[in-house]
Amino acid sequence: MLSDKMLDMLNTQLNKELYSAYLYLSMSAYSTYIGLKGFANWFMVQYQEEMFHAMKIYDYINAQGGQVKLKAIDQPPGEFESPLDMFEKTLAHEQFITRSINELVELAIAEKDHATSIFLQWFVTEQIEEEANDNEIIARLKLIGKDGNGLIMLDRELATRVFTPPKE
């Protein structure tokens, strides 16, 4: 059973995950537009991951007998300065999500809501991986700088990413 406050915060987190999906879908579209198909693929896989996160919260609220309430999803940015700009915005967004998950964990602990605490541990671990992926690509984009060949090679590599539903 979820407290009213926990239910509201989980519904808000569901909205944040849907916004994450929307943001990365926008980055995928922009990458396609500027001719970087590999980046477009990477962000499309990221979109799928975020939908998985959202549905995980959706299913948990339902399993706990709570009412899912869908809120409006903000419009994401549609223009970016460069691939580096997209990944720096991605990292900043993931850091925001990490803080949001941490707040949920703190509420679960304060409310002695052990079920939600255990449920959230998956997200705590997932955020480590999400930020690590972004940091790695940012570091490589900084090394590449204005080298077009380096960017094309990275684009080819990002084209190989495939979506596999994360492990439970």
In this structure, what token pair is assigned to residue 26? 């926008």
CB-nearer residue toward ligand OFO: 94 or 155: 94
In the region spanning residues 35 to 64, those forming contacts with ligand OFO, defined by CB under 6 A, are 50, 53
Say how many residues make up the chain: 168
Looking at 6, 7, 14, 17, which residue binds ligand OFO (CB under 6 A)? Answer: 17
The answer to whether residue 134 forms part of the interface with ligand OFO (CB under 6 A) is no
CB of 153 to ligand OFO, least distance (A): 25
CB-nearer residue toward ligand OFO: 20 or 28: 20
In this structure, what token pair is assigned to residue 102? 């941490």
Place of tokens 């995980």: 56
CB-nearer residue toward ligand OFO: 33 or 96: 96
Looking at 36, 97, 104, 107, which residue binds ligand OFO (CB under 6 A)? Answer: 97
Place of tokens 């549609």: 78
CB of 146 to ligand OFO, least distance (A): 29
Looking at 130, 134, 141, 151, which residue binds ligand OFO (CB under 6 A)? Answer: 130
Contacts of 40 (CB under 8 A, 6+ apart): 28, 29, 31, 32
Residues that bind ligand OFO (CB under 6 A): 17, 20, 50, 53, 94, 97, 130
